[in-house]
């Protein structure tokens, strides 16, 4: 969203047209309806002129002589009938045009929102870490809505105005070239003025949208971190911050409004000139007998018709400019490409979950290497643990296994296949992942448990919960498995959330279980529960467990100790304790005992 503008940014309207090919017929139908509507809109003025003509000239009138209707009253009746017909057509076409444009606006809005969302969802984890949720949200909601507003009324108004100019121009042209010239004199001024005005507005509205994004980003971050704000009694500071970004938004809008408002008076002056000249010169032509009274009235009415809608041009262009700034942002988002591309291979059946890291080097963005050449093998069926101090790169290592990121060098292999060659489906379908910070969706406990397998039966869900040692506390919840958790729901403790996440992963029955233990700060009961469930669920599959609490992984087939981006030691618990290295020290600290012995509390 921040990089150089993609090709579609140059002409947002063109991009929109190309993007929504399948609606072209509806667009054409809508344009046709608006055209008919505009014609019916101009017609009453002409009929009014014809009526004046009848009153003034009688049987010599246009209706009398050309259409051959006898008698003034009969002529007026014909005009009235035509007028009624015109009004009916006008109403009808207005109704249909309104339906079509609004329907189109809603459909395009819906399509773009869904498409933008699925693009965002496809983008890699690294992109999401770089981009603030609030900004993405502002594109998905504000910008999409802005476009809808334009398509709803703006597009129709522009078309209506353009058609009016053409139709009125045609009537003028067949009447008198001098008058045509005068009446249309303001039009170039208005059009040129509009273009200049648009150019000025473009960057102003880009700034408006940008600041709107900042506002959303700030609000989203602050709402997410409300407890932290309160804990530090930083309310005033944060209010000031919101005030600042909101004020930036206001100022950006004010600049745009100042420019856009100056436009309308300018146009009115031009209109006044055109109107005055038609009034005076046309009247003079009538005195001289060069113009019929009826035609004179038509022209005076039509000049009004022609020029007044142009005063709205300012507002409509304003809407247009806002919508285009938004459309640019939407398309910039749609143009984003995920970094890692999907592979094409599938894991050979049966999937066993054997894992290997070969000389893996990895770091974030342009940052330094976090992993500096990691070699690690987890033979299928075994349970291995990764330990190390905080920031050692344990979670980063797991990210590579799930391919949230790709290594800078080296390979990650699952059952002997480079994970980059695998389809997302095949890779992530084989892995049950429990992240360090568990995310629970807003919904019932059951929904959260069955997230990876919505079709699972209640018995299966319960069994998974039992395996993860979660059944006990779930049963004690007010409504058991039907208790609503997640945002706006019941809050669970960190340990409980992690056990729900474990059950969620188990329910998928993955070949490889990847577990990022939340924290070392769990109570004895939880620790024992984790240990018990790990023993059960890892019995039948491959597992890689990041552990902070070393006692939870004492029984692992092998423990890998990460330090300074490398594997410093590896072996079984007993081997590592006996070796007296980093692991032995960590163990001593955690058990509060000397290095010796398999001390267990
Ligand atoms: N890092 C980063 N960008 C991220 C995540 C991490 O720059 N999105 C950095 C911060 C650390 C290093 O990478 O210096 C390793 O982070 P890990 O999360 O992999 O560290 P651990 O999981 O080992 O730490 P903990 O035990 O605290 O979970
Ligand atoms: Mg971590």
Residue 352 near ligand 1, beta carbon < 6 Å: no
| Rg (the chain; Cα; Å) | 36
pLDDT at residue 252, as a whole number: 92
Residue 209 has pLDDT above 90, yes or no: no
Q: Is the four-CA dihedral 338, 120, 364, 130 of positive or negative sign?
A: positive
- CA-wise closest residue to 205 among 258, 166, 273, 156: 258
- CA-wise closest residue to 407 among 415, 416, 398: 398
Give the separation between CA 394 and CA 594, rounded to whole angstroms.
26
pLDDT at residue 4, as a whole number: 44
The overall pTM is greater than 0.85 = no
Residue 394 near ligand 1, beta carbon < 6 Å: yes
Tens-digit pLDDT profile for residues 176-204: 787 788 778 787 877 787 777 777 888 88
Ligand 1 pocket check: which of 339, 371, 385, 393 to mutate, most ligand atoms within 8 Å of Cβ?
Answer: 393
Residues 327, 377 contacting (CB under 8 angstroms): no
Q: Which residue has the tokens 């984890």?
A: 125
For residue 349, tell me if it sits in a domain.
no
The last residue of a domain, from among 334, 365, 388: 334
Token pair listed for 451 = 């997230």
- pLDDT band at residue 35, thresholds of 50, 70 and 90? very high
For residue 339, tell me if it sits in a domain.
no
Closest C-alpha residue for ligand 1 atom 22: 395
Q: Angle at CA 500, nearest 5°, toward 499 and 504? A: 115
Residue 395 near ligand 1, beta carbon < 6 Å: yes
- CA-wise closest residue to 15 among 329, 318, 317: 329
For residue 219, tell me if it sits in a domain.
yes
Do 360 and 288 lie in one domain? The reply is no
Give the number of domains in the chain: 2
Do 101 and 244 lie in one domain? The reply is yes
Do 367 and 314 lie in one domain? The reply is no
Q: Which atom of ligand 1 is found nearest the CA of 126?
A: 8
Percent of the chain predicted with pLDDT > 70: 95
What is the average pLDDT across 260-273? 78
- CA-wise closest residue to 373 among 568, 571, 565, 546: 565
- Give phi and psi for 162, each to the nearest 5: -60, -45
Strand partners, 387: 561
Residue 586 near ligand 1, beta carbon < 6 Å: no
For residue 597, tell me if it sits in a domain.
no
The last residue of a domain, from among 301, 334, 367: 334
Do 375 and 473 lie in one domain? The reply is yes
Q: Which residues contact residue 188 at a Cβ distance below 8 angstroms, ignoring those fewer than 6 apart?
A: none
Domain that holds residue 555: 355-591
Q: Angle at CA 182, nearest 5°, toward 177 and 186? A: 135
- pLDDT band at residue 10, thresholds of 50, 70 and 90? low
Measured over all CA atoms, what is the biggest interatomic distance in the chain, rounded to whole angstroms? Answer: 124
What is the average pLDDT across 530-551? 86
Do 460 and 563 lie in one domain? The reply is yes
Ligand 1 pocket check: which of 130, 387, 391, 560 to mutate, most ligand atoms within 8 Å of Cβ?
Answer: 391
For residue 37, tell me if it sits in a domain.
yes
Residue 365 near ligand 1, beta carbon < 6 Å: no
Do 491 and 410 lie in one domain? The reply is yes
Q: Which residue has the tokens 């809005």?
A: 109
Q: Which residues contact residue 244 at a Cβ distance below 8 angstroms, ignoring those fewer than 6 apart?
A: none
Q: How far is CA 228 from CA 130, 231, 261, 371, 485, in A?
A: 21, 5, 43, 31, 21
- CA-wise closest residue to 269 among 170, 171, 355, 193: 193
For residue 343, tell me if it sits in a domain.
no
For residue 421, tell me if it sits in a domain.
yes
Give the separation between CA 270 and CA 193, rounded to whole angstroms.
10
Dihedral angle over CA of 377, 383, 386, 387, nearest 10: -140
For residue 61, tell me if it sits in a domain.
yes
Residue 19 near ligand 1, beta carbon < 6 Å: no
Do 18 and 87 lie in one domain? The reply is yes
């Amino acid at each position: 969203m921040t990089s150089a503008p993609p090709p579609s940014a140059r002409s947002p309207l063109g991009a929109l047209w190309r993007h929504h090919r399948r609606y072209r017929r509806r667009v054409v139908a809508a344009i046709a309806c608006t055209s008919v509507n505009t014609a019916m809109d101009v017609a009453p003025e002409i009929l009014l002129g014809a009526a004046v003509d009848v009153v003034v000239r009688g049987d010599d009138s246009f209706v009398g002589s050309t259409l051959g209707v006898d008698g003034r009253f009969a002529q007026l009746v014909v005009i009235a009938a035509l007028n009624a017909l015109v009004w009916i057509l006008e109403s009808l076409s207005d109704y249909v045009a309104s339906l079509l444009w609004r329907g189109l606006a809603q459909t395009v809005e819906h399509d773009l929102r869904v498409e933008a969302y699925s693009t965002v969802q496809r983008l890699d984890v690294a992109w999401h870490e770089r981009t603030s949720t609030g900004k993405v949200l502002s594109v998905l909601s504000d910008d999409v809505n802005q476009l809808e507003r334009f398509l709803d009324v703006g597009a129709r108004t522009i078309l209506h105005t353009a058609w009016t100019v053409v139709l009125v121009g045609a009537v003028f042209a067949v009447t008198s070239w001098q008058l045509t010239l005068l009446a249309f004199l303001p039009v170039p001024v208005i059009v040129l003025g509009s273009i200049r005005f648009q150019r000025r507005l473009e960057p102003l509205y880009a700034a408006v949208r940008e600041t709107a994004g900042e506002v959303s980003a700030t609000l989203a971050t602050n709402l997410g971190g409300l407890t932290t704000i309160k804990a530090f009694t930083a309310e005033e500071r944060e209010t000031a911050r919101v005030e600042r970004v909101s004020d930036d938004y206001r100022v950006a809008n004010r600049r745009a409004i100042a420019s856009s408002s100056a436009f309308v008076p300018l146009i009115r002056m031009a209109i006044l000139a055109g109107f005055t000249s038609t009034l005076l010169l046309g009247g003079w032509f009538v005195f001289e007998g060069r113009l019929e009274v009826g035609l004179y009235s038509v022209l005076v009415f039509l000049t009004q018709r022609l020029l007044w809608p142009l005063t709205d041009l300012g507002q409509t262009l304003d809407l247009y400019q806002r919508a285009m700034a938004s459309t640019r942002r939407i398309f910039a988002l749609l143009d984003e490409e995920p970094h890692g591309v999907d592979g094409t291979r599938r894991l050979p059946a049966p999937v066993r979950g054997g894992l290997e890291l070969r000389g893996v080097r990895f770091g974030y963005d342009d940052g330094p290497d976090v992993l500096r050449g990691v070699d690690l093998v987890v033979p299928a069926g075994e349970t291995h643990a990764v330990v190390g101090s905080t920031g050692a790169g344990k979670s980063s290592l797991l990210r590579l296994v799930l391919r949230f990121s790709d290594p800078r060098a080296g390979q990650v292999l699952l059952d002997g296949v480079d994970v980059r060659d695998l389809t997302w489906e095949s890779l992530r379908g084989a892995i049950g992942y429990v992240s360090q910070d568990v995310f629970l969706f807003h919904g019932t406990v059951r929904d959260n448990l069955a997230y990876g397998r919505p079709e699972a039966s209640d018995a299966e869900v319960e069994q998974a919960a039992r395996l993860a040692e979660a059944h006990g506390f779930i049963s004690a919840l007010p409504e058991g498995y039907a208790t609503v958790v997640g945002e706006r729901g019941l809050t669970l403790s960190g340990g409980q959330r992690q056990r729900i996440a474990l059950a969620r992963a188990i329910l998928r029955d993955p070949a490889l279980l990847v577990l990022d233990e939340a924290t070392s700060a769990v109570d004895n009961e939880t620790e024992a529960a984790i240990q018990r469930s790990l023993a059960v669920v890892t019995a039948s599959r491959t597992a890689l467990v990041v552990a902070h609490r070393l006692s939870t992984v004492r029984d692992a087939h092998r423990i890998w100790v990460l330090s300074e981006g490398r594997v410093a030691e590896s072996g079984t618990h007993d081997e590592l304790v006996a070796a007296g290295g980093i692991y032995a020290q960590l163990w001593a600290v955690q058990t509060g005992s000397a290095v010796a012995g398999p001390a267990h509390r």
